[in-house]
Amino acid sequence: MPVGSPPALGYGATTSSRDPPVAVRVLIVDDHTLVRAGLCRLLQGFAGVEVAAEASNAEQALELALQHRPDVVLLDLSLPGGRSGLEALSDIRVRLPQARVVIMSMHDDTQHVRDALDRGAVGFVVKDAAPQELELALHAACSGQVFLSPQISARMLAPLQGRERPTGIAALSPRQRQILRQLGNGQSTKEIAADLGISAKTVETHRARMMEALGCRRANDLLLLAARHQHELM
């Protein structure tokens, strides 16, 4: 949701045209007093956002979440005591499934992000994020959307964007591999067309595309390549 647009309603809340918008209520969970105080002041400056409570550990987080029933829990992963932030996340999602959990942590490596999302978090914001980024994350959470800090999104998408496309024989379609195999066996265009129930023109089109994909300048180059790679075309 864009910054400045009306926030989503808290769960169970209703408004009429005469009522003022219901603020998004946030539970802050962080073990550092100064960090909580800073976040509290920051969130109070956001339009349509109010701080419901503050917690310093996982046990207190669950207790206050059940007591105040916030719309969003802003949760740090590094918490003192016997239970981690990830465990607190799981507890809150089980006991209070309506609440949205946004992680705000310095541990922003891919594994921590995946673990948090797998346990039900709907946002992950790095601790050095700009205030507007956190505001976007809170409103996105209440709108049913997932928000990740840009550097996290870029890092998680990098393997997909950098994935190499298949080359050589592996880049051919099943039909092209079939035609190439038959060319390697010495069949003519007309014989292949009759065998596959397609037109000779279609076979020629496939031949031209295979020559382009495989870097063959002449028809004979394609035939030699087909004969050389028969074992890959079976």
For 95-120, the pLDDT digits (tens) are 999 999 999 998 888 888 999 999 99
Query: Rounded to two decimals, what is the model's pTM?
Result: 0.61
Task: Report which DSSP code applies to 154.
Answer: H
Q: Where does CATH 3.40.50.2300 sit in the chain? A: 24-161
Backbone phi, psi, residue 12, to 5°: 85, -5
pLDDT in tens, 169-209: 887 888 888 999 899 888 999 999 999 989 888 898 888 88
Q: What is the rounded end-to-end Cα distance, in angstroms, of the chain?
A: 53
Q: How many helices (H) and strands (E) does the chain have?
A: 10, 6
Helix, strand or coil for residue 84?
coil
Q: Where does CATH 1.10.10.10 sit in the chain? A: 168-232
Class of domain 168-232: mainly alpha
CA–CA separation, 208 vs 217, rounded Å?
Answer: 10
CA–CA separation, 198 vs 192, rounded Å?
Answer: 8
pLDDT at 13 over 50: no
Backbone phi, psi, residue 149, to 5°: -55, 145
- The fold for domain 24-161 equals Rossmann fold (3.40.50)
Match 């002449």 to its residue by tokens. 218
Helix, strand or coil for residue 45?
coil
